[in-house]
Amino acid sequence: MIITSRFNSTICLLGGTLLACLLVAAPAQAVRVQALYSTELLVAQQSMQVEPALGGKALAQVLVKVSGRPDILDAEPITAAMAAPQRYIQQFSYHNAGISRTNGAGQEVPAQRLKIDFIPVLVDQLLSQSGYRTLGAERPGVLVWIVEERSQRREFLGREEDPVFAPMRERARQRGLPIFRPLMDLEDQNALSVADAWGFFDEPVQAASSRYQADAILVGRLYPAGGGWRSRWMLLRNGERSQFEGAGTTLDEHLSAAVDQTAERVFADFVAPVGDLQQGVLIEIGGVNRFDDYAQVMQYLREVTVVRDVALSEQNAAVLTLSLQLNGSLKQLESAIALNNRFHLQPERLLPFSDARLSYRWGD
């Protein structure tokens, strides 16, 4: 999964290359996920065409990634498309995967990585016909702290390259969920102790995580039990705290399941059937003093997938009143706007006798 982040700290990416670190300047909470309409599969050999079974499997992965919902695959239009996926495929290519795989003749051969790109407009139409919509490219970023207990000793994972993260990276790529590791430098080590992370103590976890400006924080504890593994996880987001048990027996299964459960909770505020519409919502935004401010506000709102249409209703000095037609609920609009930290939600209306449902101040 390729992502573009606007965090103002150096952060290590789990959703792509293990140690791909990004250093960027402007602060922001949301992460723009790219390559949403592409996926990769391991195959034993190349072919002149994509086999329908492989194409259907790849299309299923893309539909889940684009929509944020794993429960859509039983919808009738989608099952038909997965059975005949060729019309949705834009292009495909092969690359050496660097590992072996057994072919149809039972021989060990160099595995190939099949990359399939799908046609975005057709995928979006398929989702709409099935009663769903896209989640959008702007997604909440999740910072991940993991403590492992082994031989009665507890320590953070991620101080060095650690292959244990591979299943987590792969599952995050499939779900389109941006996840990050802390740097685990001296600042992190001084800010958060292993004991506080293992104990799921909110305040030290949030304090140590503040430098990364993530939308959500996931803390996990892993420990061997009964010949397998067990895990428990804490998710902090929007001032709320939730915990859940891991699933599976192996370490890989626990890490992959943690990504799934996190994605379901983090994406919950953004996904809804197309039929759940809120008509004619007015919002007001203060602090729009320049044309550049106006252009940035309008561009962001037009890119939010829950917004079907946006139009200027009124301008009073530096306060804009905008009329929005939505593809979802007011809560989903509020969650989507919260991903851009230049919008500051206001407790009171900015203009007297305003009919606005939400009020914001625009600024850094």
Q: Which of 12-21, 249-258, 340-349 has the lowest mean pLDDT?
A: 12-21
With beta carbons less than 8 A apart as the criterion, state whether 96 and 110 touch.
yes
8-state DSSP, 99: E
- Alpha helices, DSSP H only, in the chain? 52-67, 76-83, 120-129, 166-175, 186-191, 194-198, 202-209, 251-267, 291-303, 330-338
Give me 111's structure tokens. Answer: 């595995």
Rounded to the nearest integer, the mean pLDDT of the chain is 86
- Contacts of residue 341, Cβ cutoff 8 Å, sequence gap at least 6: 27, 28, 29, 213
The Cα–Cα gap between 311 and 277 comes to 17
- In this prediction the pTM is 0.80
Whole-number pLDDT of residue 117 = 98
User: pLDDT of 207-234, one tens digit each?
Assistant: 999 999 999 999 999 999 988 999 999 9
Whole-number pLDDT of residue 162 = 67
Whole-number pLDDT of residue 362 = 96
Q: Which of 87-91, 133-137, 319-323, 356-360 has the lowest mean pLDDT?
A: 133-137
Residue 329 sits at φ, ψ, to 5 deg, of: -95, 170
User: pLDDT of 48-77, one tens digit each?
Assistant: 999 999 999 999 999 999 999 999 999 999
Whole-number pLDDT of residue 222 = 94
Say which CATH topology domain 2-34+136-267 has: Rossmann fold (3.40.50)
Task: Find where tokens 């999964």 sit.
Answer: 1
Q: Hey, which residues does 220 pair with through a beta bridge?
A: 146, 233
Task: Give the torsion through C-alpha atoms of 271, 273, 279, 283, to 10 deg.
Answer: 0
Whole-number pLDDT of residue 165 = 79
Whole-number pLDDT of residue 122 = 98
Domain borders along the chain are 2-34+136-267, 38-129, 281-362
Whole-number pLDDT of residue 64 = 96
User: What percent of the chain has pLDDT above 70?
Assistant: 88
Residue 111 Ramachandran class (φ > 0 left, ψ -120 to 50 alpha, else beta): beta
Whole-number pLDDT of residue 6 = 33
Q: What is the 3-state secondary structure (H, E, C) of 20-39?
A: CEECCCCCCCEEEEECCCEE
With beta carbons less than 8 A apart as the criterion, state whether 361 and 344 touch.
yes
Whole-number pLDDT of residue 130 = 92
Q: Is the pLDDT of residue 332 over 50?
A: yes
Whole-number pLDDT of residue 273 = 55
- Kindly state the average pLDDT of the residues 30-47: 91
Q: Which of 102-111, 154-163, 255-264 has the lowest mean pLDDT?
A: 154-163
Angle between helices 120-129 and 52-67 (to 10 degrees): 70
Nearest alpha carbon to residue 176 among 79, 86, 76, 61: 61
Task: Find where tokens 């909110």 sit.
Answer: 202
Question: Would you give the distance in Å from CA 283 to the centre of its chain?
Answer: 26
User: pLDDT of 299-311, one tens digit each?
Assistant: 999 988 889 899 9
